[in-house]
Structure 1
Amino acid sequence: MIGITWDLMSWINCNFFSFLKSNSRSLNLSYISFSRKKKMFISLWEFFYGHFFRFWMKWLLRQMTGKCELQRIFDTYVGAQRTHRIENSLTYSKNKVLQKATLVVQSEVDKCVEDIMKEKNINPEKDASFKICMKACLLQISGYKQLYLDVESVRKRPYDSDNLQHEKLLLKLWNLLMPTKKLKARISKQWADIGFQGDDPKTDFRGMGILGLINLVYFSENYTSEAHQILSRSNHPKLGYSYAIVGINLTEMAYSLLKSEALKFHLYNFVPGIPTMEHFHQFYCYLVYEFDKFWFEEKPESIMYFNMYREKFHEKIKGLLLDCNVSLTLKI
């Protein structure tokens, strides 16, 4: 019964939107776009659900089970579904302690769990698993927020040719991808061999900063044979593409998915604890490997259609990420 409210909400959403589409004219709503109608309904539903329906549903289920909503979620769900529903329950709660729990930093998770148990009158002797489960969920929730901040911090750091560490990292990328070919000069047309646009790669990192380079190096270092294979395929006479430029573009895709919270199901399933930069890099590697397969399966007429196929791939990934059981890992 714990899923009743969420299932009902989904059912109402689907059926109400279908009704609006087919009856807009008779309802004199034709002047309003469908997307706007959808937003209007969602706002209306969230208002009634949050202020009236949810309270009585929770009260009824508590009388029937003797457990609060958080306990019922722990009893019913595992993985990303559990963490996602706990996060929603805390977010929609009228209790300030529970609301603030979604914003807790990792160092204060233990205290936050104690505060929640106190607010909900949960006896640790009667429900010994609650503390463990709640801590795990809060670490994932707070960890996701911290991961975004960490990724954003690196993304905002521009590539600096006067920074020795940045220059070493760039040279490392060349050596990983072209181990038998020496780079003749720092400013060189040779950079085109690994898919950069100009003689100086630093200009290609402007959008994603040093994050774009770090991801390229991570894939080349941890999946060297795959990187060599994909670089070779990228030089195909008809289906070729700029390896490094596409890699930086896929860093932007990974970043935007993280920022929009589309990676929550994946990371909540993939990482039982706190997600880190390592897990972000791993997801990037998945995108690089899968995009190359996708590109050659689709067989675009030319590189001029890159944006269209890039968006098609993006939509495919977003669709996969909607599955609450998703875990997108590179399997070779």
Structure 2
Amino acid sequence: MSLVNTHRSCAPIRSLSPASSSISRCAHTSSADHVTCGTPIWIGKGITCICFKRKGTFERVCINLTPVQEDRLRRLKQRMKVYFDGSRIDHQEALRALWYAAYPDQELQALVSDQWKEMGWQGRDPSTDFRGAGFISLENLLFFAKTFSTSFQRLLRKQGGKPAVWEYPFAVAGVNITFMLMQMLDLDVSKPRTFIRSVFLQMLSENEWAFDLLYCVAFVVMDKQWLERNATYMEFNDVLKSTRAQLEKELLMEDVLRIEDMPSYNLLLTLDYRWRTKGRI
């Protein structure tokens, strides 16, 4: 990442590959308090320019999106707006698909059943737990189960060691992670307010499943921090905050250009930390 002086502002530019040395400047020269980007200059397929007032922190970000970024952000926002509706056949089928992805050899008795508590839902009807994050939180869980099935099963069943004294409810934790990511990435506003969002949009242009992949990374980071803290259920929000801080730190690393470049992505490929963590063997 490079910082280019543009009079009263700076323009940090993230290249799409380590070999790239392309740098562009924002065209504005205004000294007004509310500066905006000038004519965008595209760098490869990535972000054109990001401007902010230099006061030691990223306070104001304005971004010109590429057509790909605009389209994928629009579709992601549409997913976020869908509430879980137990009367919709496709939502019912998605819920059943999650059950059989989690417990392929166990018959689901009904969509409202005590069986769901085994997965970590608060009651017999999991639909009541989707209110915080909507249908996308179910999609995230299903994506995790199908894309990284081994990691999903190990976290769900707490495999690889003895259970902690206090274990978090798996499914409810997943819904909370979805909501945390939506807040962290500033996806519920029309104008970007954080540099993290700008970085994520570049990743989204490279992979339309970037949000779902980041969700999977967030889940294993949260699990690892839970074990390291030997946390209790009352500390769940603190663990979630530290998880967010770790994700933000990794997303801003200079050599992280895709979700797969994040150091914690490797946790999805091997969950050996569950074997090594003190007190779980």
**Which one of the candidate residues 108, 112, 131 is aligned to 1:183?**
108
Counterpart-to-counterpart distance in 1, 2:93 and 2:214: 24
1:285 corresponding residue in structure 2:
216
Aligned CA-pair RMSD: 3.5
2:52 corresponding residue in structure 1:
none
Give structure 2 stretches of 5+ with no counterpart.
31-35, 50-63, 187-193, 270-281
2:199 corresponding residue in structure 1:
265
**Cα deviation, residue 266, structure 1:** 5.3
**Cα deviation, residue 322, structure 1:** 2.8
Counterpart-to-counterpart distance in 2, 1:237 and 1:205: 26
2:60 corresponding residue in structure 1:
none
Q: Is residue 314 of structure 1 aligned with residue 244 of structure 2? A: yes
Contact 1:159–1:205 (CA<8 Å) still a contact in 2?
A: yes
**Cα deviation, residue 228, structure 1:** 0.6
1:241 corresponding residue in structure 2:
168
Contact 1:80–1:324 (CA<8 Å) still a contact in 2?
A: no
Opposite residue 5 of structure 2, the aligned amino acid is T
Of Structure 1 and Structure 2, which has the larger fraction of its residues in strand? 2
Counterpart-to-counterpart distance in 1, 2:26 and 2:117: 51
Deviation per CA, 1:197-252: give whole Å up to 9, x if none. Answer: 11111111112111100000000011111111000119935131111111111111
Counterpart-to-counterpart distance in 2, 1:220 and 1:101: 43
1:156 corresponding residue in structure 2:
81
2:233 corresponding residue in structure 1:
303
Count of residues in Structure 1 that have an aligned counterpart in Structure 2: 231
Counterpart-to-counterpart distance in 1, 2:129 and 2:21: 38
Q: For 1:5, what is the secondary structure of its paired residue?
A: strand
Question: Matched residues, percent identical?
Answer: 22
Of Structure 1 and Structure 2, which has the larger fraction of its residues in helix? 1
Deviation per CA, 1:132-154: give whole Å up to 9, x if none. Answer: x4555459933444433322211
Contact 1:155–1:209 (CA<8 Å) still a contact in 2?
A: yes
Counterpart-to-counterpart distance in 2, 1:155 and 1:93: 37
Give structure 1 stretches of 5+ with no counterpart.
7-47, 55-68, 103-115, 117-130
Counterpart-to-counterpart distance in 2, 1:84 and 1:261: 20
Q: Which moved more, 1:223-232 or 1:319-328?
A: 319-328
**Cα deviation, residue 4, structure 1:** 6.0
**Cα deviation, residue 100, structure 1:** 6.3
2:5 corresponding residue in structure 1:
5
Counterpart-to-counterpart distance in 2, 1:85 and 1:262: 20
Counterpart-to-counterpart distance in 2, 1:328 and 1:135: 17
2:182 corresponding residue in structure 1:
255
Contact 2:84–2:131 (CA<8 Å) still a contact in 1?
A: yes
Q: For 1:240, what is the secondary structure of its paired residue?
A: coil
Opposite residue 15 of structure 2, the aligned amino acid is V
**Cα deviation, residue 49, structure 1:** 1.3
2:123 corresponding residue in structure 1:
198
Q: Name the TM-score, length of structure 2 as normaliser.
A: 0.69
Opposite residue 49 of structure 1, the aligned amino acid is R
1:61 corresponding residue in structure 2:
none
**Cα deviation, residue 195, structure 1:** 1.1
Change (3 A) 1:245 1:83: farther
2:65 corresponding residue in structure 1:
141
Contact 1:150–1:277 (CA<8 Å) still a contact in 2?
A: no
Opposite residue 164 of structure 1, the aligned amino acid is I
Q: Is residue 49 of structure 1 aligned with residue 8 of structure 2? A: yes
Q: Is residue 89 of structure 1 aligned with residue 26 of structure 2? A: yes
Counterpart-to-counterpart distance in 2, 1:316 and 1:237: 22
Counterpart-to-counterpart distance in 1, 2:15 and 2:123: 49
Change (3 A) 1:84 1:173: farther
